[in-house]
Structure 1
Amino acid sequence: MSAGTQPQPPARTQAGPQTRLPWWAWALPAAAFVALFSLLSSPAPADSGTQAGSGGPLTRMVQFVQHSAGRLAP
C-alpha cells in the first residue's frame, strides 16, 4: 500500500482581512457626531415658543426619546 499525497491548500491571495478604512467610513460618522453635538450644545432661540423651565436641549431630547419609546411599546 502506498501513501497518497495530500492536496495542497489553495494559495492565499491576501495576507488577511482588509483593515484600512476608506475616508468616508470615518468622516461621515464624525461629521454626524459634530452636527448632532452642535445642535445639543447650542441654546434654543428666545422666540421658539417653548415652555419656560422646560430644560435644555439634552432634557428635551431625552423627553422626546421617552415619548417615542412609549408610543412604540404595546
Structure 2
Amino acid sequence: MADEEDEMTTGTWTDVEAQDLEGTNAFRLMPTDALVDRPAAGVVVPAAGGFGLCVQYDWVHPDGGPQDGILLA
C-alpha cells in the first residue's frame, strides 16, 4: 500500500480563464521559401469542472485555405 505522499494527484485547470486569441501564423514549406503570414485565432476554455481544457483554433494555409480544429486536455 502506498504512503499518502506517494499518491498521484490530479491537477486542474481551475486557474485558467477563458480567453480569445488572435494573431497570425507564418508558414513556409521549405527553408528557402519566404514566410507567408495569414490570420489565426483561438479560444481557450476550461471544461469538465476544471479537469479539462478545450482549445479551439483556426488558421489559414496559404494554398490550402482555412483550417480548424479542437485540442482537448
TM-score when normalising by structure 2: 0.22
Which has the bigger relative contact order, CA under 8 A and spacing at least 6?
2
- Which structure features the higher share of strand residues? 2
Bigger Rg, structure 1 or 2? 1
